[in-house]
Every structure is written in structure tokens, then in C-alpha cells.
Structure 1
Amino acid sequence: MKKTLLLTALGLTALTGCTELKKEDIGPIVAEYLVENPEFLIEAGKNLQKKEQEKAQAAQINSVLSQKTALIDEATPYIGNAEGKVAVIEFFDYQCTYCVVMSEHMKSLVQENSDVKVYLKETPIFGSRSEPSKLAAEWGMEIFAKKGTQAYESYHNALWSSAKDNGNKLSNDVIKEYVEKSGLTFSDVTATMTKKPQANIQLFSQLGFRGTPALIVMPTEGANKDNVSIIAGADVEGLKAAIEKARG
């Protein structure tokens, strides 16, 4: 009976057949029912939260689609198949603990998926308080621009290995070592570098990301709301599923 009255109070008279209820009775009926049946309110809250999350994700995917050119531009360092039909875009910071964990999976990813091209967006979100974070990113982009993919991949993997071996910490000396192994002359002054990571940080923010790693998966051609995936965090299984989704 109380549930019937509650539905009536909420305006669902078509379901109950009850059409008469005084306005002053609605509040107490609803309150009493919710006290006795808190799961009703919990379930309603979950449904509302789910709808809000779906709405936010749809908006984020629309933002991704509008920024596709910037996400998979040819100036972005990459690993994997240069002609890959599936694009994985990763925003990362060399000082990010979860990015270090993800780095091993990313190497396996390109070995196991010959149709994947991983675009690596140097995004030093810790650069304001960590000079090596910013410096490593700037030099990574410079090495790719001046020395190409293979030199960049060697530098990229070497920094991950060093970070992993040293408690996720990098130093300017370590960066210098691998910059010079790439064939460039190291300097702490990077004002004349070809590319800067600020554009990546701005894009990262525009897309609504708050932490690294942040990943986007889409086909390089024909991307749409149904085949684009957004992954926040080191979600390996989610990444695998997103690749399959992008393949169609």
C-alpha cells in the first residue's frame, strides 16, 4: 500500500490507478517509505550517477573527435607500426608511477598487435615541481624531431627503465646520458628546441583529463562515437578491449 501511495505521490498515477492524493500527504508518505526502504534511494542515486557518467563520457568523446587532427599529428613521437590502422594515444609523464607500470605493457602491446600505432604525448604534469619531468619531455620531443623514431624509442624506453630502477625518479644526469646516446648535445637550456610539451598539456586539459596515464583508442580512419574509447589510468584489460572495439 505504501509503495502504491509513493508512486502516486511521485505522479505515477497511471501505474497505480489511484488519482486522488492530498498535496500535504505527499511529503510524509515519501519520507516514511524512504526510511523503511533506503535501497530505493540508493538505487535511484546509482542510476542518476550512471546517467551523469554516460553524459560526461559522451561529451569527452565528442571533444576527442573534434581534436583528432591534433591527437594523431605526424609531429607526435610514436612506437609501433607507422601505418597502423588503430591509434593508441597516451598522455604520460616520466615521473608518474602508474605510467612506469604502463610502459612495460605498452611495449608488449606493439609487439603483439601489428596494426597498432602508439602516439606518445609527452605531458609533464609534474613539471612545475620536478625539473627532470619537464626536461625529459622536452628532450624526448627534440630527439624525435631531430633523430627520428628509433632514436626516440631507445631514449623513451631507457628513461622508463631508469625510473623503474630508481624509485620512479629521474635526474638531469640520467637524461643527459641518454640524450647524448641519441647523438645530440645535452643542455639544460631548452628554449631553442623544435617542439614544446605545453601544447600537449593544453590538449590534455581541454579533453578533461586530470591525471596520467590517459589513453585514447580510435581507428586512424573513420573514427566515430561508437569506436572511440577513453581510458583514465593504467587499465590494461580496458586497453585491450578498446583496441578490439576500434578494429570494429
Structure 2
Amino acid sequence: MSRLFKTFAAGTFLSLALSAAGPALALDESQKKEMGAFIREYLIQNPEVMIEVQNALEAKQQAQRADQSTKAVATYKDEIFSSPTDVVLGNPEGDVTVVEFFDYNCGYCKRAMGDMDEILKKDTKVRFVLKEFPILGPDSMAAHKVANAVRLVAPDKYAEFHRELLVGQEHASEATAISVASDLGVDEAAIRKSMQEQPNDDIVRQAYQLANAIGITGTPTYVVGDEAVFGAVGLDQIEEKVGNVRSCGKASC
């Protein structure tokens, strides 16, 4: 624990102590210094107190974030689960929907692709929605523009294109995305025409607005049932959330 942090903590405890004392107890400067020294010495002798405080703060922040995301999911349910511009994999009529916010240059998203594949392989009742969310720079934005064009020009090729661009390329950009699409037989001229005539600006803008409302700051982030699940949490946790939605209607029963 740094000296600056200890000093700050002591000041915080001192402020709380003085506040609790109220106007009935007016300390002079020497008394304030004495109390501050006592609090400082106590924290030095018992530094685990500040660890407990930090843990309590993190728990409170996580609870606040979860509450924010749950309220946002309820408010923007249609935009999250049923946007006509999102690609749906798995069972279009599935009983549980998993939404993934992803970026083609997200390393964690690349590793999480196997989780999605395994879910769709094992559970034929899952509806999996891909929410394009380019946040990792201009190359990501350009790659997602190509992806949107592939969705419009050759929707039957999108799933294969998505898999190859996400996990088959070290870095996604306009050039690598067009190369992947071309290798799959999608006409480059048609892609570029679609990019020009039907850009994905509104789609990306909506994704950013939803992410801001939910509290998403990174990828991948999933939405299952009434909850946002932040990070590449792994197959087991996603399957648990899906099972909970089926059994009690919520991601956490």
C-alpha cells in the first residue's frame, strides 16, 4: 500500500469521523492532528482494513454495473435481440437467444469463437445473434463495413465469412475482409457497391448507443435473458445462463 494511498485513506477516515461527530464536537487543530495520527497508525498496523474497503468498493461497483445493464436490457430489448440488421446463427426460432457484441480484431473474441461453435453444436434450441461492435480502431471499422456488405450481398456466405475473418486472419482490415469474401466467391465489385450505397453507419451507431446504455466497455460482451455478461467468460458460464433462462426465465435463478 503506497504512502499516498495511506494518507488518502487516513484523510478519508478522519473526514468520516469528524462528520459522524457532528457539530457537537468541534476539534481544534491539535486534536485533528492527533486523531489523524491515530487513524494513520491504525491503518499501518492493520492494512488489511483497506483491502476490505477496496473489495467492498469493487463489489458495490459491480452491483451498480449489473443493475444498470439489467435495466438497459429491459428498456432496449427489441433493439438488442430483434434488430433486423443483425445476423442470426443457430435456430432462428430458438427458445433462448444469446447476443454477442464483438470486434473482428478482438483477441478474446477470436478465442471465444469456439464457445459459440460448441453451443450451437450441442444445443439446437439456441438462437445466437451477432452484434457488430467495432471499437478497436479504423481497421476494425473498415472490416465491419465489408462484413455488412457481405451480409447484404451474400447472406448465405456470411457465417463462413465471419468465422474465417475472425479466427483465420491475424488482423482484420478492409483488405483482408475483401480477400476473405472474394475467396468465398463473393463479387468484390458488388461488395464495394454495397459499401458505398448502404454503409453500416447507422448499425454501428445503434450498437454504440446500446453498449453505452448497457455499460459495455469491451468485447466480447454477451446478453442472455435479462443480463449482460461481460468478457470471454467461457462455455460453462454461458451454458449456465442459457439453462437458467429456461428454468426460471432469468439468467440468474
Q: Residue 216 of structure 1 aligns to a residue in which SS?
A: strand
The unaligned stretches of length 5 or more in structure 2 are 1-12, 19-24, 249-253
Return the letter of the residue paired with 1:187.
Answer: R
Kindly indicate whether the alpha-carbon contact (under 8 Å) linking 2:113 and 2:167 is maintained by their aligned counterparts in 1.
no
The unaligned stretches of length 5 or more in structure 1 are 1-5, 12-20, 219-227
Task: Give the Cα–Cα distance (whole angstroms) in 1 for the partners of residues 186 and 215 of structure 2.
Answer: 36
Kindly indicate whether the alpha-carbon contact (under 8 Å) linking 2:103 and 2:140 is maintained by their aligned counterparts in 1.
no
Distance 1:102 1:44, change over 3 A: same
Moved more, 28-37 or 92-101: 28-37
2:241 is equivalent to residue 242 of structure 1: yes
Q: Residue 94 of structure 1 aligns to a residue in which SS?
A: coil
Q: Residue 180 of structure 1 aligns to a residue in which SS?
A: coil
Partner of 1:18: none
TM-score of the two chains, using structure 2 as the length reference: 0.72
Task: Give the Cα–Cα distance (whole angstroms) in 2 for the partners of residues 238 and 184 of structure 1.
Answer: 42
| Equivalent residue in structure 2 for 1:71, among 63, 77, 80 | 80
Kindly indicate whether the alpha-carbon contact (under 8 Å) linking 1:216 and 1:229 is maintained by their aligned counterparts in 2.
yes
Partner of 1:230: 228
Kindly indicate whether the alpha-carbon contact (under 8 Å) linking 1:142 and 1:195 is maintained by their aligned counterparts in 2.
no
Deviation at 1:88, TM superposition (A): 0.6
Task: Give the Cα–Cα distance (whole angstroms) in 2 for the partners of residues 179 and 63 of structure 1.
Answer: 40
Kindly indicate whether the alpha-carbon contact (under 8 Å) linking 1:72 and 1:89 is maintained by their aligned counterparts in 2.
yes
Partner of 1:110: 120
Identical columns (%): 25
Kindly indicate whether the alpha-carbon contact (under 8 Å) linking 2:65 and 2:215 is maintained by their aligned counterparts in 1.
no
Task: Give the Cα–Cα distance (whole angstroms) in 2 for the partners of residues 243 and 43 of structure 1.
Answer: 33
| Equivalent residue in structure 1 for 2:145, among 121, 135, 149 | 135
Deviation at 1:98, TM superposition (A): 1.6
Partner of 1:211: 218
Distance 1:126 1:31, change over 3 A: closer
Distance 1:100 1:188, change over 3 A: farther
Kindly indicate whether the alpha-carbon contact (under 8 Å) linking 1:89 and 1:120 is maintained by their aligned counterparts in 2.
yes
Question: Aligned residue pairs: how many?
Answer: 216
Task: Give the Cα–Cα distance (whole angstroms) in 2 for the partners of residues 83 and 46 of structure 1.
Answer: 42
| Superposition map of 1:71-220 within 5 A | 71-75=80-84, 76-126=86-136, 128-130=138-140, 132-143=142-153, 148=155, 150-163=156-169, 167-169=170-172, 171=176, 172-178=178-184, 180=186, 185-187=190-192, 190-193=195-198, 196=201, 197-198=203-204, 199-218=206-225
Deviation at 1:138, TM superposition (A): 2.0
Deviation at 1:120, TM superposition (A): 0.5
Task: Give the Cα–Cα distance (whole angstroms) in 2 for the partners of residues 43 and 94 of structure 1.
Answer: 39
Distance 1:185 1:72, change over 3 A: same
Kindly indicate whether the alpha-carbon contact (under 8 Å) linking 1:231 and 1:238 is maintained by their aligned counterparts in 2.
no
TM-score of the two chains, using structure 1 as the length reference: 0.73
Deviation at 1:238, TM superposition (A): 2.7
Kindly indicate whether the alpha-carbon contact (under 8 Å) linking 1:139 and 1:179 is maintained by their aligned counterparts in 2.
no
Deviation at 1:125, TM superposition (A): 2.0
Task: Give the Cα–Cα distance (whole angstroms) in 2 for the partners of residues 53 and 128 of structure 1.
Answer: 31
Distance 1:208 1:99, change over 3 A: same
Kindly indicate whether the alpha-carbon contact (under 8 Å) linking 2:102 and 2:221 is maintained by their aligned counterparts in 1.
yes
Deviation at 1:161, TM superposition (A): 4.6
